């Protein structure tokens, strides 16, 4: 068996097998895999953590891009406003009302 289990597990006594409480028709107790058993085919914790870290980094990058886009939008808005104001000021009637 290639599965890994906790040798210090109290539930299964470090065997990786738990008594399910049931019995086979021929009277043999049914043992099931303990919660501590970790099939080696499963992605290991560091791989999962790596994937989560990558995803978080991608989200942060997206947030940065959106923040910059927002900033540029605001800048563009302010420039348009000041251009409009300059246009108004150039109007000979500006300030007469």
Q: Can you give the binding site for Zn ion, defined by CB under 5 A?
A: 9, 11-12, 34, 36
Residues 83 and 90 sit within 8 Å (Cβ to Cβ): no
CA 71/CA 25 separation, integer angstroms: 72
Neighbours of 79 (CB within 10 A): 10
CA 86/CA 82 separation, integer angstroms: 6
- Shortest CB 47 distance to Zn ion, Å: 23
CA 30/CA 38 separation, integer angstroms: 20
- Shortest CB 3 distance to Zn ion, Å: 11
Which CB, 32 or 53, lies closer to Zn ion? Answer: 32
Which CB, 39 or 83, lies closer to Zn ion? Answer: 39
- Shortest CB 69 distance to Zn ion, Å: 52
Which CB, 9 or 38, lies closer to Zn ion? Answer: 9
């Amino acid at each position: 068996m290639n599965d890994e289990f906790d040798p210090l597990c109290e539930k299964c006594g470090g065997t990786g097998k738990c008594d399910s409480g049931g019995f086979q028709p021929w009277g043999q107790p049914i043992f099931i895999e303990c919660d501590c058993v970790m099939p080696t085919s499963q992605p290991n914790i560091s791989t999962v953590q790596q994937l989560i870290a990558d995803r978080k980094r991608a989200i942060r990058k997206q947030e940065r891009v959106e923040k910059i886009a927002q900033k540029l939008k605001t800048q563009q808005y302010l420039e348009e406003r000041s251009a409009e104001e300059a246009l108004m000021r150039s109007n000979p009637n500006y300030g007469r009302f």
